[in-house]
Amino acid sequence: MPGLSGELRQRLTQSQTLAPQMRQGLELLAMSLPELRQRLHEEMSRNPCIEDIEASLEKTTVSEKVREMERDESVDESGSSEEDYEPEFGAAAAITRDEDADERRQRFFDRQTKEETLEEHLLAQLKMSDIDEKDLPLAEMLIGELNADGRFVGSIPDIVMVSGESEEKIVAVLKQIMQLDPPGCGARTPQECLLAQMDKLDGSPYQDDVRALIERHFEDMAEGRIAVIERDLGISHERYADVLRELRTLEPRPGRAYDLAGKSVSYVHPEVHAVKTDEGWEARVDDRSLPEVHISPKYLKMLADPNTDRETKAYIRQRIAAANSLVEAVERRQQTITDIAQAIFDAQPGFFEKGLKGLRPLTMQEIAEKTGVHHATVSRTVRDKYASTPKGTVELRKFFTSGITTDSGEQVTKDALRDRLAAMIAEEDKAHPLSDDRLSEMLKKEGFPVARRTVAKYRAILGIPGTSERRH
């Protein structure tokens, strides 16, 4: 055909791909401790050159462990303190090894799973939460009034009569329960449940529109009145689709994950242990909880035997190299976790004095710069990894908190700012409550550079109504 021609062109392009060893290392780093154990056992079944995988975790019998627990219970609890805190490395002290070690270890791991209800999951978090100790009995009572979805279905007037607490106190404790895991449990309405999860959208460009959609157009959304929503929010049809997609990342029934028949939830196994030293708190990773990979002497002899054919030797070398690569990847994983956990401990000394309330604003990028790794590596490392500390077992991800910088250069967490906002509203003249604009001005005078929209956002998170509803 006229106007068409063919020609050959050369093009030089560059592409970056991960080496197999690096890819394997990233996969292991993102794994939790149980997942890593399973991966090692799978490698044993696939690789004939690995003779055995022996763990030094369970080196005492179950009866010895029971006796050890009985001895611990006999110690006077009043004598314990943070100074005496010693992390528990593995299930028991490493003393002996016998031929039944594998069987005992398997029995030990089999005992680590049980069916956990939503109520048990929430109750276990109370002592580590920000809920005042004197309010814990009330919190336990309220958790008992949640349905399978995590929704509060109790009668507040009845609880007022039984507990002797005020309605305001009960609502305040419910708000604190909504901040536990999974967030939103304890809400009385779907809107309240979704608003309690808005922290998940921090940094999202659709966060404000999602909040407005929940607060002002929940019924319009259910009835499909899209034009009304788009006109009121001043957004296009395409942006509304994006906002709706972002909204669907929130969970309207946060408790249903614990309502599955036969669901088995694993107990948390701390992989990092905070150890008190003269220099401070040291992060140690428990290597004894991991299996050990051993190359079979049988295949090493075959490799050295001159009568073994070339093809067999090549296969053996390949399998041994795979085993050695796995061992090196595990070692790098352990060192990376140690380095990042140590950087976190060094950056959060207040945690070891006040618990979660003592945390300062900390980002993954800050830890990445201190340890010389990419922030994505920090994200993989802290996911599903737990630390045993004198303040309880804490997920490493909990040490990262967002915050703002005051005019004086001091960094404060969002929780501290919310506490100050709540205190201001509590002290206001009820006949002339403070507007969001006025609250923003007052916070700015105290060094908190927050806009009116931020005040409204934090006020909604705290469950504090607007100015007109607060006026008495």
pLDDT digits (tens, 9 = 90+) for 142-195: 998 898 889 998 888 878 877 888 999 999 999 999 999 889 999 999 999 999
Residue 262: the pLDDT is: 41
Q: What is the mean pLDDT of residues 446-463?
A: 81
Residue 354: the pLDDT is: 80
Which range (237-251, 339-353, 368-382, 446-460) has the least confidence?
Answer: 446-460
Q: What is the mean pLDDT of residues 324-334?
A: 87
pLDDT in tens, 375-389: 878 888 888 888 888
pLDDT in tens, 231-240: 988 999 889 9
Choice between 152 and 53, residue whose per-residue pLDDT is larger: 152
pLDDT in tens, 104-132: 555 555 544 456 788 888 988 888 888 88
The type of residue at 258 is Y
- What homologous superfamily is domain 403-470 in, according to CATH? Homeodomain-like (1.10.10.60)
Q: Where are the domains of the chain?
A: 403-470
Residue 193: the pLDDT is: 92
Choice between 41 and 268, residue whose per-residue pLDDT is larger: 41
Report the C-alpha gap between 35 and 289 in whole angstroms: 12
Write the CB contacts of 312 (distance below 8 Å, at least 6 apart in sequence): 302
Given pLDDT bands bounded at 50, 70 and 90, which one contains residue 350?
confident
Residue 346: the pLDDT is: 92
Residue 78: the pLDDT is: 46
| pLDDT averaged over every residue in the chain | 78
For residue 265, pLDDT beyond 50: no
Residue 178 CB neighbours (<10 A): 24
Which range (317-331, 369-383, 402-416) has the least confidence?
Answer: 402-416
Q: What is the mean pLDDT of residues 196-209?
A: 87
Residue 100: the pLDDT is: 52
Is 0.85 topped by the overall pTM? no
Residue 58: the pLDDT is: 40
